[in-house]
Amino acid sequence: MSDCLFCKIIAGEIPSKKVYEDELCYAFYDIAPQAPVHFLVVPREHIAAASELSEENAAVVAHIFSVIARLAKELNLTGGYRVVTNAGADARQTVKHLHFHVLAGAELSEKMA
């Protein structure tokens, strides 16, 4: 998608602070962190939101969660972490490319909304 911010980040057209990449996904630190550790993991394939997942394209989500588990060990997130995805206007999704926020590094808010 030519006008998608995260597609441009994946393509290297917009700089980002990379955490990890492989053939299916790309992980980078959020530009406006909401926790001491806050990075995003996105599929390379442009999927607009979690609400656009189907049996045909959802396998990448399992892959991304296994990548997050591995990164959490590598980054020593021993206290745990929270994974969040916003889908649609009510959830305040701002970038229309599926992404998983990984938040960690401190005890997080008891509330999720």
Window 80-109: residues binding Zn ion (CB under 5 A): 97
Question: Is residue 7 part of the contact set for Zn ion (CB under 5 A)?
Answer: yes
Residue 78's identity, in one-letter code, is T
Q: State the minimum distance, in angstroms, from the CB of residue 74 to Zn ion.
A: 26
Cβ–Cβ < 8 Å for 26, 42 = yes
Beta carbon nearer to ligand 5GP, 14 or 59? 14
Q: State the minimum distance, in angstroms, from the CB of residue 46 to Zn ion.
A: 4
Beta carbon nearer to Zn ion, 42 or 72? 42
Residue 28 contacts which entry, Zn ion, ligand 5GP, none (Cβ below 5-8 A, type-dependent): ligand 5GP
Cβ–Cβ < 8 Å for 42, 10 = yes
Beta carbon nearer to ligand 5GP, 45 or 55? 45
Residue 7 contacts which entry, ligand 5GP, Zn ion, none (Cβ below 5-8 A, type-dependent): Zn ion
Catalytic residue ranges:
99
